[in-house]
Structure 1
Amino acid sequence: MSVRYNAAFTALLAAALFGATTPLAKTLLGTMSPFMVAGLFYLGSGVGLAVAIAFQRVRRSEKERANESRIQLAEVPWLLGAIAAGGVAGPVLLMFGLSTTPAATSSLLLNLEGVFTAVIAWVVFRENVDAQIFLGMVAIVAGGVALSWQPGASGVSAGALLVAAACVCWAIDNNLTRKVSTNDAMVIACLKGLIAGSVNLGIALLLGAHLPGFGKTAAAMFTGLAGYGVSLVLFVVALRNLGTARTGAYFSVAPLFGVTLSLILWPDMPGVLFWVAAALMVLGVWLHIRERHEHAHTHVLMDHNHRHRHDEHHQHTHDFKWDGDEPHTHPHRHVPMTHTHGHFPDIHHRHIH
């Protein structure tokens, strides 16, 4: 299977885990404050991943530990910005939105995250966009408008606006995380979970909330580990290989998984606007998935450190004794090269068009 399809599958799996979290969060909101739910979700994610990282490092050899990619000082502001936007503001806005919005509707509204992610990637970080990708985003936006509009009301519901605001926060998070995506995805997700979880939990306790019983606390933390922790690890890996806008597009299928689960938990036949919105969003995702991008491009001189195989972009020598095992991690240099092949704005193809 090609790198592209591996990355697409990784993004879709991340979407499935995150999408299932939304209706599960809805079941917890009746007994916990939004800050408490967000705090336990992220804290569960951070603690669970910290245990996994510790176990992983015990098993690694001394050489592997020496060659690990470490977050550089210049990357710290990008990571802290991502944590503030996506780890603190986003989840809280979502929880407040969920408290007044049906779970199925909220799940489909999360498609807007992909749209906002792409717009920021195109406008701020100058990722390329073609007519097909643009039309896909138009379809998703139209679906979001149809889904959040309330016939007979004066406009869009406040709950829907809060969910949309959460999507803006996660879009900012996705684009900032792109700047540190060559680092260990598990470490990035763990730091976000521990910091964001502690902040949200602290706010909840300061506002007078109390920790729920052991069973509900464990359920919330385990849900967060899967839906926020493992999902984010997979998302960062996909981000590294597909670029921000494309990964966001694949991630847009998350609401479909959420809708399926929410309709199982709360059986109810949605109205016509729901199905119109779903059809528009599916069309938008399909247009993104079928995109092909190929042209002559030049790679500039670059030094970095990430997990890799010796493919056409990694033909380098080693300054240590290599046993032939791959993929592996070590600092390496990319020499200038011009060639033509299908590609996406991954960590090696962030060139101007």
Structure 2
Amino acid sequence: MRPRHLALAVGLAAVWGVNFVVMQVGLRHFPPLLYAGLRFAMAAFPALLLAGRPQVPWRWVAGVAATIGVGQFGLLLVGMRAGMPAGLTSLVLQMQALFTVVFAVTLLGERLTARRVLGLAVAFGGLALVAYDFGVSGPILAFVLCVAAAACWGLGNVAQRRAAPPDSLRFMVWVSALSAPPLLLLSLWLEGVPDLAAPAEGWLSLLYVAFVSTLGGFGVWGWLLRRYDASTVAPYTLLVPVFGMSSAALVTGEPLTPLKLAAAALIVCGVLYAGTAISPLRRPLRRLRPRRAALPRRG
């Protein structure tokens, strides 16, 4: 991966890491499905009026909306509301990297090298250390919901990789537009008539997750997926819990123990070794251009 693309991937991990603390703040003022629905509604409008068509078949837009929009974020926010703390949630959700690799290999036929397996193993060793230190303090159902959210994200990564939208931001606007209605209907059914009388803190949280994390974050994510293998890009999200737990320590006072710091070092080293940052032979994927037919020779 090129240095500027590497910096982009690490910056995206920072944005998504802080996002867990921001979402925890928002869930103090909104029920989870309503919060998710408002997030995507705000991300879609008024940008939808300027976006134009998504430039990919509608089935892929709907597929990513179902897996990432409704599946990942619906399950994730319900799990957080059920008792999963922000730091642990940022950790558990990164199982999506494993799900992405498995789905990419089985559904897209991508190659899984020994180097990438070793890097992922080192990184997941770091995640295991964090889990051991932090402990699964939330209810088991909340934990299972977050694991299911990670699986939905992994499947959504593969769908987005297969769609290969030429304009990632435009694609994410349409994904948000298709995600909002089912989430809002589910909220009305399961959570009742919404109460939008939230303080400024709740609305600022929604602004961050809608425009910075959703539009900006997934726009960059799709841009990277269009240029590199899904199993190459996905390991960088293992940096998210590093930023997630760091921001939680700064905002909520969660302690950063030596074991957590050692785990963070393993995660960084594993991600770097997983293939892309130090591999000079890795090149972005390019669209194949049709060859021109050879002109017949003149007699």
Which TM class, normalised by the smaller chain length? 0.7 to 0.9
**Structure 2 residue corresponding to 1:292, chosen from 270, 276, 279:** 279
> Could you tell me how far 1:158 is from its partner in structure 2?
3.6
1:221-279 Cα deviation digits (max 9, x unpaired): 31222111110111111111122111112233222222222111100215566445434
Matches within 5 A, 1:139-178: 139-148=122-131, 157-178=140-161
Q: Does structure 1 residue 266 correspond to structure 2 residue 256?
A: no
Query: Which of 1 and 2 has higher RCO (CA within 8 Å, sep 6+)?
Result: 2
Bigger proportion of residues as strand: 1
Distance 1:109 1:282 in 2: 17
What RMSD, in angstroms, separates the aligned Cα atoms of the two structures? 3.2
TM-score by length of 2: 0.82
**Structure 2 residue corresponding to 1:83, chosen from 65, 70, 93:** 65
TM-score by length of 1: 0.71
Count of aligned positions:
285
Distance 1:274 1:165 in 2: 25
Matches within 5 A, 1:310-325: none
Distance 2:129 2:88 in 1: 10
**Per the alignment, do residues 151 and 50 of structure 1 end up closer, same or farther by CA in structure 2, a change over 3 Å counting?**
closer
1:184-216 Cα deviation digits (max 9, x unpaired): 212210011111122212211222041422636
Matches within 5 A, 1:159-308: 159-207=142-190, 208-213=192-197, 215=200, 218-223=203-208, 224-270=210-256, 274-275=260-261, 277-288=263-274, 289-292=276-279, 294=281, 302=288
Partner of 2:111: 128
Bigger shift: residues 214-223 or 131-140: 214-223
Gaps of 5+ in 1: 58-67, 303-332, 337-353
Partner of 2:91: 108
Partner of 1:25: 23
Q: Does structure 1 residue 335 correspond to structure 2 residue 288?
A: no
Question: Is contact 2:67-2:152 (8 Å) kept?
Answer: yes
**Per the alignment, do residues 335 and 252 of structure 1 end up closer, same or farther by CA in structure 2, a change over 3 Å counting?**
farther
Question: Is contact 1:112-1:140 (8 Å) kept?
Answer: no
Partner of 1:70: 55
Partner of 1:320: none
Q: Aligned AA for 1:129?
A: L
**Per the alignment, do residues 165 and 281 of structure 1 end up closer, same or farther by CA in structure 2, a change over 3 Å counting?**
farther
Question: Is contact 1:45-1:221 (8 Å) kept?
Answer: no
> Could you tell me how far 1:127 is from its partner in structure 2?
1.4
**Per the alignment, do residues 5 and 293 of structure 1 end up closer, same or farther by CA in structure 2, a change over 3 Å counting?**
closer
Q: Aligned AA for 2:114?
A: A
Question: Is contact 2:73-2:149 (8 Å) kept?
Answer: yes
Partner of 2:76: 94
Partner of 2:297: none
Distance 2:219 2:157 in 1: 12
Does the residue aligned with 1:111 lie in a helix, a strand or coil? helix
Gaps of 5+ in 2: 293-299
Distance 2:79 2:47 in 1: 28
Q: Aligned AA for 2:223?
A: V
Distance 1:48 1:257 in 2: 31
Distance 1:218 1:153 in 2: 30
Does the residue aligned with 2:108 lie in a helix, a strand or coil? coil
Percent sequence identity over matched residues? 22
**Per the alignment, do residues 121 and 156 of structure 1 end up closer, same or farther by CA in structure 2, a change over 3 Å counting?**
farther
1:134-161 Cα deviation digits (max 9, x unpaired): 0122233334444445899899944333
**Per the alignment, do residues 270 and 276 of structure 1 end up closer, same or farther by CA in structure 2, a change over 3 Å counting?**
same
